[in-house]
Structure 1
Amino acid sequence: MHEECGVFGIWGHEQAAQLAYYGLYALQHRGQESAGIAVIDGQTMHSHRGMGLVTEVFANDRLQSLRGFAAVGHVRYSTTGESSIRNAQPLVFDFRQGNLALAHNGNLVNARHIRDILEHQGSIFQSTSDTEVVAHLIARGIYKTIPENVRESMSMLKGAYAFVILTDHELIAMRDPHGLRPMALGQLDGAYVVASETCAFDTIGATFVRDIEPGEMLIIDHNGLQTHRFSETAHKALCTFEYIYFARPDSDIDGFNVHMVRKQLGRLLAREAPVEADVVIGVPDSSISAAIGFAEEAHLPYEIGLIKNKYSGRTFIQPSQELRSLGVRLKLSAVKKIVAGKRVVMVDDSLVRGTTSARLVSLLREAGATEVHVRISSPPVRHSCFYGIDTSAREELIAAKKSIAEIQSFIGADSLAYMEEATMLQAFGVTANEPHGFCNACFTGRYPTEIFPTTKTVLEERSKHPVER
């Protein structure tokens, strides 16, 4: 499962760039391809971005050149647009209304349609990222102020987004009408802070204020904070994989602590798919909480049976299957003294292609495990995600083409069980047949938005009336 991106913004602090750096460091798990920070000092916008981890991009005193009272930052994993410095964010522009820096987490499902129309009308793009589409929409806006043009641009977008935009005069933060991607508001020493996850607030010592609501736009400037709605809240559909895999365990998202949700998923999984075993282990790092919950519910000892090499990158960063397989061997190893001669329950958060699970089962058997029972704390991933989680094409998703029995055989496990969708929702207090505010499209194929809507009519109609309104 490929990761998303992380965004961070701060307004009103003399050490804005340094705090953005530490905020991005806390969000590093959300993207490891590139990082960037843009700051404003009242007259000039300064920025730096590069390929690699936050510590690599901002080595050699790079932060010293970024002086200002407001900043936006971004860590990226490419979901739309190739892995390239030209797609690293924040994207920075200088146009008739001043400076503009954009940082985006999510994926715009109608970006291709908008881009085709804009290019036909003469726009020239510098990147292949869907984020640049938004900059062009804002620049072509017919209103006098950037916030007004931002609001109008948001009305044309379909998909998932958490945007942070920095201008010469304000910091703007928005969350899509479905709330597919998370974003929270905090405060630090009188400054306002926004971030993809609350763990960034904890790192810099900021106080959590609240989650930004779906369809809400915050405008933060020298006069304080204003809140507006650019869209009425649609059916709320926060991505459940934020809790299952992506977010850090110490983050709180929309009222739920990630670690506690994962533990509850493990408990529910133990009730739904019990098995006779000697020990429970989790796949580091995102499955540890669920494994602890499973062990507690099953009255089995929890042990560290797999050790992660913390200096290896995530396996999905490798471009080929051969390198991904090598990455698994570099990344994880079995603790022989724990698993040898034991019936092992291996709890993992998801099973996408199946190749990593097969290798882990093999590692445990090589270490002497007599039985390996795999338990997945989410339903089978049978459908692609179009909202910023870069899952494989559907034909590469093993659950889309194989039965659970066939998957069990493929990975070499003694037993395999997934969690049912209804059971998963119980971790959030949702009972059967009750409306809920989560997106489970990768499990069910039920998407909260149209996947490829066109905005051609809207854009063409607007081009006929280029006057201020």
Structure 2
Amino acid sequence: MCGIVGVVSHQPVNQLLYDALLLLQHRGQDAAGIATNHSSMFAMHKANGLVRDVFRTRNMRTLQGNSGIGHCRYPTAGSSSEEEAQPFYVNAPFGITLAHNGNLTNWEQLKEEMFKNDRRHINTDSDSEVLLNVLAHEIQKATVDISIDAETIFQAVTVLMRRVRGGYAAVAQIAGVGLLAFRDPYGIRPLCLGINETEQGNEYLIASESVALEGMGFRFVRDIAPGETVFIDNDKQLHTRQCADNPSLNPCVFEFVYLARPDSVIDGASVYSTRLKMGEYLAKKIQREGLADDIDVVMPIPDSSRPAAIQLALALGKEYREGFIKNRYIGRTFIMPGQAARKKSVRQKLNAIPDEFKDKVVLLVDDSIVRGTTSREIVQMARDSGAKKVIFASAAPPVIYPNVYGIDMPTRDELIAHGRTVEEVCREITADALVYQDIEALKQAISDVNPELTSFEASCFDGVYITGDVSREYLDKLENERNNPTKAAKPEDAGRSQLNLNLANEG
């Protein structure tokens, strides 16, 4: 999960890119970078850290030009070294910069092909650098002479989409040529287009979420379709083309559960409205399980779960209270690398108001339970504050499968619900009762907001990997590499997985 932005303007874009990245900071807090283009020359600055810490006045002064791209990173592939901060750059053909959100499932195979067949060297373990080199290679192949146009771009991306597998959205800039953006054929990761109509002509902004467009004064035009490529040339003319053979829209449900800002609209569905619907469906399940009568008060675990908790309390006819106060200067615990960092940050991030808990049966509502570290700490905080009983509710189903499309859920050991019943998870987080959202109710909550959304990427909940190339052996290898970074999976270990998956490529 990362945030990406690309802009073509009549004015210098360094400040605009910086401000847009601030609006996307929730998507990645590990590193940030900006690359601009001026007179066919690139200027770039990137480093580890928050956007506000990476860029100083001296850095901004060097980022000249009326077009550019930006990135804020949450690492899912590769490492969190500064060398893997984005954007990435290659000098041939023409010079290209690229920023990428998502994860390529076949990046290692592509990296080998790049070296053996395409004679391109990949300098890091980042799949984003692989994606850039595939793009550069295909553009070079499609370029008949030294000139390049929209048709050349579309030909190159068409071949790229046949070679690359996984979930991805990308923005790239070709020196002296223009800016392009494309989204994977399954529409897993979000990407949208905005326009600013000025007296000098149209300006364009492309970003991971609509909130970045609106915050910068751009009018939201539409989401970029699965498999679509958008190209804005040096004359600021917009060109679009469907470059995938069989595109289909399958947005990631975790964007609606947690990742996206509530004021964003993704594929025609308001994130805030979908979270309200999640609360409604969760209330119905709590009633079915006979837990509603005991509840004195409903409390959200800030911030992502607040809309669901508000609607749930309304549906149950219960009091809604803010029992936890959040320190907004602590990062989102889900995207912090390492269990120790997450556990330490919970008490720094949240502080309880004891009067709201004392002698009450409290229903705590969270957006999801992934590793369980935060949930366990929060339940204990509620008890320490005097709660008589703690019921825990998740607006999402149990997270029981690895995610391979750009969210950091790669191993079974890190997922508290994998291999455990609901009762066992309840004991692990020390709650008195635990209620999970049903998977069909979660999907229906999104479809209720936009009925045109009928298919989703929900592999972390249902084990269905829609790209069709994720095998048990692949997941075993990921887990082995995660647990033993210096040791690759042995061939004889293949096929020994205990995962119970509905792999799409196995029917």
TM-score (norm 2): 0.85
Partner of 1:9: 6
Q: Distance in 1 between matches of 2:80 and 2:447?
A: 39
Q: Specify the alignment match of 1:42 in structure 2.
A: 39
Superposed CA offset, 1:243-270 (max 9, x none): 0000001001111111111011011101
For residue 33 of structure 2, give the secondary structure of its aligned residue in structure 1: strand
| More divergent stretch after superposition (176-185 vs 436-445) | 436-445
Q: Which amino acid aligns with 1:123?
A: R
Secondary structure at the residue paired with 2:83? helix
Q: What aligned pairs does 1:61-460 form with structure 2 within 5 A after superposition?
A: 61-95=58-92, 97-121=93-117, 122-141=119-138, 142-144=141-143, 145=148, 147=153, 148-168=155-175, 169-188=177-196, 189=198, 190-221=202-233, 222-274=235-287, 275=292, 276-316=294-334, 318-429=336-447, 436-452=454-470
The count of aligned residue pairs is 448
- Counterpart residue identity of residue 13, structure 1: H
CA distance, structure 1, for counterparts of residue 17 and residue 340 of structure 2: 36
Change (3 A) 1:250 1:300: same
CA deviation after TM superposition for structure 1 residue 224, in Å? 1.0
Distance in structure 2 (CA, Å) of the matches to 1:322 and 1:76:
20
Higher relative contact order (CA 8 A, sep 6+): 1
Query: Could you tell me which amino acid in structure 2 is paired with residue 258 of structure 1?
Result: V
Change (3 A) 1:223 1:407: closer
Report the counterpart of residue 24 of structure 1 in structure 2: 21
1:265 alignment partner AA: M
Aligned-pair CA distance for 1:300: 1.1
* Structure 1 residue 6 displacement after superposition: 0.5
CA contact (8 A) 2:365 2:394 kept: yes
Contact 1:201-1:208 within 8 A present in 2 as well: yes
Q: Secondary structure at the match of 2:131?
A: helix
Which has the higher mean CA deviation after the structures are superposed, 302-311 or 117-126?
Answer: 117-126
Q: SS in structure 1 opposite 2:26?
A: helix
CA contact (8 A) 1:35 1:52 kept: yes
Structure 1 residue 322, shift from structure 2 partner: 3.1
TM-align CA RMSD: 1.9
The offset of 1:77, in angstroms, is: 0.6
CA distance in 2, matches of 1:98, 1:400: 48
Distance in 1 separating the partners of 2:336 and 2:314:
35
Residue 84 of structure 1 aligns with an amino acid whose one-letter code is S
Partner amino acid, structure 1, of 2:94:
G
> Counterparts of 1:307 and 1:91 in 2: how far apart (Å)?
39
> Contact 1:318–1:327 at 8 Å: present in 2 too?
no
**1:318 Cα deviation (Å)?**
4.8
Query: Is the Cα contact below 8 Å between 2:279 and 2:308 reproduced in 1?
Result: yes
Q: Aligned in 2, Cα 1:195/1:317: closer, same or farther, shift over 3 Å?
A: closer
- C-alpha distance after superposition, 1:169-189 (max 9, x if no partner): 111010111000011100123
Structure-2 separation of matches of 1:412 and 1:452: 35
Q: 8 Å contact 1:110–1:452 — kept in the other structure? A: no
Structure 1 residue 320, shift from structure 2 partner = 3.8
**For 2:318, what is the secondary structure of its paired residue?**
coil
SS at match of 2:418: helix
Which has the larger displacement, 365-374 or 299-308?
A: 299-308
Post-superposition Cα deviations, 1:280-305, rounded to whole Å, max 9, x if no partner, equal 11111111111111111111121111
Task: Name the SS of the counterpart of 1:428 in structure 2.
Answer: helix
Residue by residue over 1:124-157, the C-alpha shift from the partner in whole angstroms, topping out at 9 and shown as x without a partner, is: 2222110111222233331114613333223211
CA distance in 2, matches of 1:140, 1:24: 29
Q: What residue ranges of structure 1 are gaps of 5+ in the alignment?
A: 454-469
SS in 2 for 1:429: helix
Distance 2:100 2:330 in 1: 26
C-alpha separation in 2, matches of 1:206 and 1:318: 31
Where structure 2 has 5 or more consecutive residues not aligned to the other structure, the ranges are 472-507
**Match in the other structure for 1:459:** none
> 2:335 & 2:208 partners in 1: Cα distance?
21
Q: Distance in 2 between matches of 1:317 and 1:103?
A: 19
The CA distance in 2 between the partners of 1:60 and 1:73, in whole Å, is 17
Relative to 1, partners in 2 of residues 1:172 and 1:435: Cα closer, same or farther, differing over 3 Å?
closer
C-alpha deviation, 1:394, in angstroms: 1.5
SS state of the match for residue 427, structure 1? helix
Equivalent residue letter for 2:160: S
Which amino acid is 2:232 matched to?
Answer: I
Q: What amino acid is aligned across from residue 210 of structure 2 in structure 1?
A: T
Report the 3-state secondary structure (helix = DSSP H, G, I; strand = E; otherwise coil) of the residue aligned with 2:77. Answer: coil
- Aligned amino acid, residue 47 of structure 1: M
Residue 444 to residue 11, structure 1, CA distance change in 2 (3 Å) = same
Q: 1:316 to 1:267 in 2, by over 3 A?
A: closer
CA–CA distance in 2 between the matches of 1:248 and 1:232? 31
With over 3 angstroms needed to count, the CA separation of the structure-2 counterparts of 1:61 and 1:74, relative to structure 1, is same
Secondary structure of the 1:273 match is helix
Give a deviation string over 1:3-45, Cα, whole Å, max 9, x none.
x100000113312121111111000000001111111113211
Identity score, percent:
39
